[in-house]
Amino acid sequence: MKKILFASTALVAFAGAAAAEVTVTGAAEMGIVGGNRYATASNTDGVTQFWTDVDVTFTMSGEADNGLTFGTKVKFEEAAGGIATQTEDDFAVWIAYGNARLDMGDTDGAFDWAMQEMNLAAGSIDDSETEHPGFNGNAGFDGHEDGQIARFTYTFGDFAAALSAEIDDDPNAQAIAPSVNPDSDDDVVWGLGFKYSGDLGGTKMNVGLGYQDQNDFGSLIGLSVDATLASGFKVGASYSEMDPDSNIASDNVTHTAIGFGYEMNALSIGLNYGKYENFDKMSGTYGSAAESDGYGLAVAYDLGGGLAVQFGYGVGDSTTAAGVDSDWDSYSLGLAMSF
């Protein structure tokens, strides 16, 4: 995105600090979307409808006299239904020194930080390619408690490690349905992650290994690998397995995914496939016969100057433990703008 620097606020001198920088970026989307992702009680097949979205991101950073750097990011997005009210959509605060950094707020836990999602190229205005029942955003247990995550990371060469925690701010809350809402006590969500990013003979390689645990809910481990070739092709695969607590499910939940991408000049194409075993993503429940899988496709063409045409499609189905099937599809076509 293009960055706009506000001269009156970008460089702020004050006692005990070197300088602060404030930048603003923006994005907007317009187009049409459809499929049963947009189904209603009166129209279970969904309808084709218009799509508009606007967001503005403020990024602020500074450096203290002792070399500590610090900053924050806040994104405001128009509310659901196209109502033009400012809603805080994403925020995080960080402080760093050398190779060490601490992030706190609406940020990824160490598992999500380490794992690569399999939508390796392109994108769509409504993320249809990532909304099918087989897609895994690798959020893991993030958000099981109050959503405030603290993550410490340390980078050394091509390697990096992270440790994260999410603490319950309402220890008296009781879970209504543990398999969907695990917030039954004040158990901390712990995360640990490792990443490698390097260049192997012209091929950019990324490897991620993540682990997450919450007492009385379960533990989760995952591995992802992706590579970008000099020819513009991208390929990746990931695997994760959750060992649930006995009151959640008796069998482990597994997820397997592969992704392909290609970028050449202004054109980019991405294709992904994912599958859950022992998990019905449509209802968020577990069971030994539950299963969800699906495909996603995204195609984008860059028109230059921050404007791109984007197409997205997702399709898949879920089966409950009782054997009930449900299908899913969504599609979108429109323009994405960055400022």
pLDDT tens for each residue of 267-305: 999 999 999 999 999 888 888 889 999 999 999 999 999
Q: Which two tokens stand for residue 103?
A: 């992030």
DSSP 80: G
For 129, phi then psi, to 5°, come to: -70, -15
Q: What is the pLDDT of residue 177?
A: 53
Q: Is the pLDDT of residue 179 over 80?
A: no
Please, which pLDDT band fits residue 168 given cuts at 50, 70 and 90? confident
pLDDT category, 176, cuts 50, 70, 90? Answer: very low
Q: Per-residue pLDDT averaged across 251-259, rounded? A: 96
pTM of the model: 0.88
Is residue 208 within 8 Å of residue 223, measured between CB atoms? yes
Q: Work out the average pLDDT over 240-259.
A: 92
**3-state DSSP assignment of residue 142:** coil
Element (H, E) at 8: helix 7-10
Q: Which position has the higher pLDDT, 251 or 335? A: 335
What residue type is 158 in one-letter code?
D
223-245: average pLDDT:
95
Other C-beta atoms closer than 10 Å to the C-beta of 114 total: 31
18 confidence band (pLDDT: 50, 70, 90): low
Distance, CA of 309 to CA of 196 (rounded, Å):
33
Q: 117 near 261, Cβ under 8 Å?
A: no
Looking at residue 143, which CATH number applies to its domain?
2.40.160.10
**Full residue range of the structural domain in which residue 215 is found:** 4-338
Q: What is the pLDDT of residue 5?
A: 44
* Mean pLDDT value of segment 163-182: 69
316 contacts 328 by C-beta, under 8 angstroms: yes
Looking at residue 89, what is its pLDDT?
55
Confidence of residue 324 (pLDDT cuts 50, 70, 90): confident
Alpha helices, H only, 81-145: 110-114
Instruction: Judge residue 70's burial from the number of C-beta atoms within 10 Å of its C-beta, 0-12 exposed, 13-18 middle, 19 or more buried.
Output: middle
In the chain, % of residues over pLDDT 90: 67
pLDDT for 82 equals: 46
- Tell me what the pLDDT averaged over the chain comes to: 87
Q: Residue 13: pLDDT above 80?
A: no
- Please determine, for residue 28, whether its predicted confidence score (pLDDT) is greater than 90: yes
Of 10-14, 227-231, 259-263, the least confident: 10-14
Q: Name the DSSP class of 37.
A: G
Q: What is the pLDDT of residue 87?
A: 44
Statement: residue 85 has pLDDT above 50: no
Amino acid present at 284: G
Coil vs helix vs strand at 68: coil
Q: Tell me the Cα Rg of the chain.
A: 21
**Bridge partner list, 302:** 308
DSSP 8-state secondary structure symbol assigned to residue 250 = S
DSSP string, 294-326: EEEEEEEEEEETTEEEEEEEEEEEEE-TT--EE
Q: Centre a 10 Å sphere on the Cβ of residue 56 and count the other Cβ atoms it contains.
A: 17
3-state secondary structure of 111: helix
Beta bridge partners of 156: 159
State the pLDDT confidence band at 19, using cuts at 50, 70 and 90. low
User: Looking at the 3D structure of the chain, how many domains does it have?
Assistant: 1
Q: How sure is the predictor about 38, in pLDDT bands with cuts at 50, 70 and 90?
A: confident
pLDDT in tens, 141-166: 998 888 899 999 999 999 999 999 99
pLDDT-derived band at 15, boundaries 50, 70, 90: very low
Unique residue bearing structure tokens 């920088």: 21
